[in-house]
Amino acid sequence: MIKITLTYADGISEKKLLEDLKARSGSVNKTVTETVSRILEDVRVSGDDAVREYTVKFDGKAPENFEIDKKDIENAVNVCDGEFVASLKRAAENIRDFHQRQVQQSRFNTLENGSILGQRIRGLERVGVYVPGGTAAYPSSVLMNIIPAKIAGVKEIIMVTPPMKDGRANPDILAAAAVAGVDRVFLVGGAQAVAALAYGTQTIPRVDKIVGPGNIYVATAKKLLFGTVDIDMVAGPSEILIVADNSAKPAFVAADFMSQAEHDVLASSILLTTSEVLAKATVEELKKQLPTLSRKDIIEKSLKDYGAIVVFKELSEAIDYANQFAPEHLELCVENPMEYLGAVDNAGSVFLGNYSPEALGDYFAGPNHVLPTGGTARFFSPLSVDSFIKKMSFIYYTQESLDKASDDIIRLANAEQLTAHANSIKVRR
């Protein structure tokens, strides 16, 4: 039975809803943190032995060799359904095309005084990609994480993924890895896999950055290791916020609601609308469509705990509220949606109109589906080619150009009482 909160915006009720939803993503599980901290330290000290021990403990058994043979990765495209692989390749083509346009070039400027200033851009040396491989196996995430890294010029991409119950790698995951162009794959998951990537073991190489989704143990491991290694973002529960007027179709809105809710019981689905008729019709559509879906129990609990519909008087008020929420996914199911795009300041990805559902972005269109959650779209951006590059500035001055700048530099250094800085300029006069 669908239970979903219907709220009428009054300046208070909708603010309380926003506070409650943000609180869910900010909670910290102390037990999980303690467990993960112990795993990280064991892997740091004992390397492969600790990884193997925790793999047996959590997955039942550990593979004889952690690394998957390159031939087995390449052969995965032949083992999987041909139409599935063809769809992967078409999606990969779209993702490459979109991200190729993000590439930046190194640059330098020669000034009139003879000095040269510039910036060198290069890909990171080695990146680790975590890919869930159990009940939540997402080949689409393989494409979204690996392809931008390849375009950025990352020299080596290492993927880790947990074994299935039979001890093998998920073939769909391997096929996606082959299509995306992964370099090496290791059959290990959980916090121990993240630790192995961050510290390096006898078998698994140390990386500069770790990206990719995972459960609360994986997410906590990435959070604790930030600083030892870079990470994509601290991801919380997934979310969708739909802004709709009376031109929206209730069946579409309901379907998009549930496509988000099926991710996780903690996922949130919110509808902001100026139409009370649409709000009530959407609830009826939820009841009609739910029984046909395979993950209906998860959807039902997600909508009961974190689903809501808010009715506003004006569309502008709904847009303002959406900016405060800063959702991971924002759908604008309104007439002339392009007119409102400029008013959206905070969102991970925006889906415009009735025929641009979130699932289009998740799988196929091209923009990345690794997006900031929990309101962090206020200051975080989607995963991109920029996520995998390193920038280094450089400076060249002639003696003459340094002489002209020396008085200003000495004056600033003395103001900060850093006389050795000032002296390093004086001795060059």
Q: What is the pLDDT of residue 134?
A: 63
Which residues neighbour 222 within 8 Å (Cβ) at sequence distance 6 or greater?
130, 194, 210, 214, 231, 234
- Residue 152: what pLDDT? 98
- At residue 137, the pLDDT reads 82
In the 8-state DSSP scheme, what is residue 229?
B
Q: Is residue 392 part of a domain?
A: no
CA distance linking residue 42 with residue 121, whole number of Å: 36
* 20 and 52, same domain (yes or no): no
Q: Let me know whether 242 and 212 are in one domain.
A: no
Query: Are residue 86 and residue 162 in the same domain, yes or no?
Result: yes
- The total of structural domains in the chain comes to 3
Final residue of a domain: which of 206, 231, 256?
231
Q: Which of 191, 206, 231 is the last residue of a domain?
A: 231
Tell me the pLDDT band of 307, cut-offs 50, 70 and 90: very high
Q: Where are the beta strands (DSSP E) in 31-168?
A: 107-110, 116-123, 126-130, 156-160
Q: Can you name the residues that pair with 269 across neighbouring β-strands? A: 240, 307
Catalytic residue among 328, 331, 358, 369: 328
- Are residue 212 and residue 75 in the same domain, yes or no? yes
Residues 191 and 215: their CA atoms lie apart, in Å, by 9
Helices 190-199 + 216-225 axis angle, to 10 = 20
Asked if pLDDT for residue 237 goes beyond 90, the answer is no
Is pLDDT at 118 greater than 80 in this prediction?
yes
Average pLDDT estimate for 237-261: 96
- Two tokens, residue 192: 């121990």
What pLDDT, on the 0 to 100 scale, is given for residue 14?
A: 85
User: Same structural domain for residues 129 and 272?
Assistant: no
Tokens of residue 331, six digits: 């759908």
Q: Is residue 390 part of a domain?
A: no
At residue 29, the pLDDT reads: 80
Do 96 and 215 sit in the same domain of this protein? yes
Domain annotation covers residue 35? no
Q: For residue 286, give every residue at least 6 positions away whose Cβ sits within 8 Å of its Cβ, in sequence order, or none.
A: 2, 4, 254, 257, 258, 303
Does some domain include residue 196? yes
Nearest to residue 234, comparing CAs of 260, 254, 207, 216?
Answer: 216
263 is catalytic: no
Is 38 inside a domain boundary? Answer: no
Arithmetic mean of pLDDT over the chain: 94
Residues 242, 225 share a domain: no
pLDDT band at 28 (very low <50, low <70, confident <90, very high): low
Average pLDDT estimate for 292-317: 95
Task: Say if residue 25's pLDDT is above 90.
Answer: no
261/178 same-domain check = no
CA separation for the pair 340, 331 (Å, rounded)? 11
Who's near 284: CB < 8 A, 6+ residues apart? 250
148-168 residue pLDDT tens: 999 999 999 999 999 888 888
Q: Which residue has the higher pLDDT, 61 or 145?
A: 145
Q: So what's the pLDDT on residue 1?
A: 67
Instruction: Among 132-136, 196-200, 283-287, 425-429, name the one with the lowest average pLDDT.
Output: 132-136
Q: How confident is residue 26, by pLDDT bands cut at 50, 70 and 90?
A: low
pLDDT confidence of residue 164: 85
Bigger pLDDT: 37 or 164? 37
Q: What's the pLDDT score for residue 34?
A: 95
Q: Average pLDDT of 36-59? A: 95
Q: Which of 231, 259, 277 is the last residue of a domain?
A: 231
> What are the residue ranges of helices labelled H in 226-275?
250-261
Asked if residue 34 is part of any domain, the answer here is no
What token pair was written down for 137?
């196996």
Non-local CB neighbours of 68 within 8 Å, separated by 6+ positions: 169, 174, 185, 186, 187
* Catalytic residue, candidates 300, 329, 331, 369: 329
Please indicate, yes or no, whether residues 22 and 133 belong to a single structural domain of this protein.
no
158 and 69 fall within a common domain: yes
| 328 catalytic per annotation | yes
| Range in 159-168, 172-181, 315-324 with the lowest mean pLDDT | 159-168
Please give the residue range of the domain that contains residue 286.
5-27+237-378
Residue 32 lies in a domain: no
In a domain, 87, yes or no: yes
Mean pLDDT of 112-122: 94
Residues 273-291: what's their mean pLDDT? 96
What is the CATH number for 14?
3.40.50.1980
Is residue 6 very low, low, confident or very high in pLDDT (cuts 50, 70, 90)? confident
Q: Are residues 241 and 224 in the same domain?
A: no
In this structure, are 72 and 189 located in the same domain?
Answer: yes
Q: Which residues contact 343 (CB under 8 A, 6 or more apart)?
A: 316, 319, 323
The answer to whether 142 and 173 are in contact (CB under 8 A) is: yes
pLDDT for residue 193: 98
Q: What percentage of residues in the chain have a pLDDT greater than 90?
A: 84
